[in-house]
Amino acid sequence: MLESLHNTEQQALSELQQAVDSAAMKEWRSRHLGKESTLMQNLGSLGSLPAAERPEIGRRANEIRRALEAAYQERSDELSSTSEAAPATTLDVTLPGRPVKQGRLHIATQTLRRIYAIWAEMGFQVYRSQDLETDEYNFELLNIPAHHPARDMWDTFHTNTPGIILRTHTSPGQIHAMRAYCPESIRVILPGMCYRYEQITARSEIQFNQVEGLAVGKNIRFTDLKGTLSDFARRMFGESTGTRFRASHFPFTEPSAEMDIECFLCAGKGCSVCKHTCWLEILGCGMVHPTVLQNGGYDPREFTGFAFGMGPERIAMLKYGIEDIRYFWGNDLRFLEQF
């Protein structure tokens, strides 16, 4: 019996050195220290041995059990320290490097910057106004009194503070600019975000960028407006770009007009973008209404001016053939990385 116990110990210790991971260690412990192991079976059969042999065999079996448990713990600590010291991954320096993607400006930002640059070249400076406006600045001072039918053109976001709204257009910035510079002449553009409570579709959003323009001085005429905007169109879309002006109506300008450019995609032949009219609408404009000039602090008998408003997203959609305005706010990299 003693020889059998010795052989069991030597075999267990030999197999323990061959265990190299936690699964093998778990299997070894079950086979040599578990209830069904040879050692535990020998301890369980002590009662069948002669009384004179029981003390020595029992003592030897317990010594082997404690020795195997100590060897198991030592081997576990050794494997654990080896695993922590080894690197988690092996670096293969021969593999090709991963390309680093470059960031880029949003297409709306690119279009805005191009618009800023053109107007700066033409002597206009940027004037910023706030997104939160009073009803007075957004409507009243722009010749749109309460209950005026024109208010239906601007579906408005109201706040919890009476009379405070999210601006529906950048036109209230005209009043701020005129009151800041009066009685001097003005040439400014007023870029900013506008908000309207509208159904989101491929052609309309609840928020969008707009660039307002304003020029006030003495002897400014409608011909100045036409020449200035036609020059902008040629700089933005190409030297050969043709323009036309159509009569329209805005409460804060008189007379008012819509400006179209000749379709640069089909070169006047007609396509789906221009709806086969050969023209693309890009902005609204007009001579500043005398009431608006007076509300800004100018004497309309001495000063005149013109104003215009354009949508950078619409210009980008026309220029690059983008069919859905929702792409601008969707953060889809497949769309953004094209620009």
Give the chain's length.
339
pLDDT at 273: 67
Q: What does the alpha-carbon distance between residue 128 and residue 107 come to, in Å, rounded to a whole number?
A: 21
pLDDT digits (tens, 9 = 90+) for 187-229: 999 999 999 988 888 888 899 999 999 999 999 999 999 999 9
pLDDT at 260 over 90: yes
pLDDT at 127: 96
Q: Which two tokens stand for residue 53?
A: 């042999």
Query: Chain-wide mean pLDDT for the chain?
Result: 87
Residue whose token pair is 């407006």:
225
Residue whose token pair is 């059998």:
4
Q: What does the alpha-carbon distance between residue 172 and residue 286 come to, in Å, rounded to a whole number?
A: 15
Q: Which two tokens stand for residue 23?
A: 């699964």
Average pLDDT over every residue of 94-103: 85
Q: What does the alpha-carbon distance between residue 246 and residue 256 come to, in Å, rounded to a whole number?
A: 9
pLDDT band with cut points at 50, 70 and 90 for residue 248:
very high
Higher pLDDT: 256 or 337? It is: 256
Query: Contact, 241 vs 253, CB < 8 A?
Result: no
pLDDT digits (tens, 9 = 90+) for 284-339: 999 999 999 999 999 999 999 999 999 999 899 888 888 888 999 888 888 988 88
In this structure, the strands spanning 207-217 and 243-250 are: unpaired
pLDDT band with cut points at 50, 70 and 90 for residue 85:
low
Query: Nearest-5° angle of CA 125, CA 128, CA 130?
Result: 165
Helix (H, G, I), strand (E, B) or coil at 81: helix
pTM, rounded to two decimals: 0.68
Higher pLDDT: 177 or 318? It is: 177
Instruction: Please name the residues in contact with 166: beta carbons below 8 A apart, sequence gap of 6 or more.
Output: 131, 132, 133, 156, 157, 159, 195
pLDDT at 64 over 60: yes
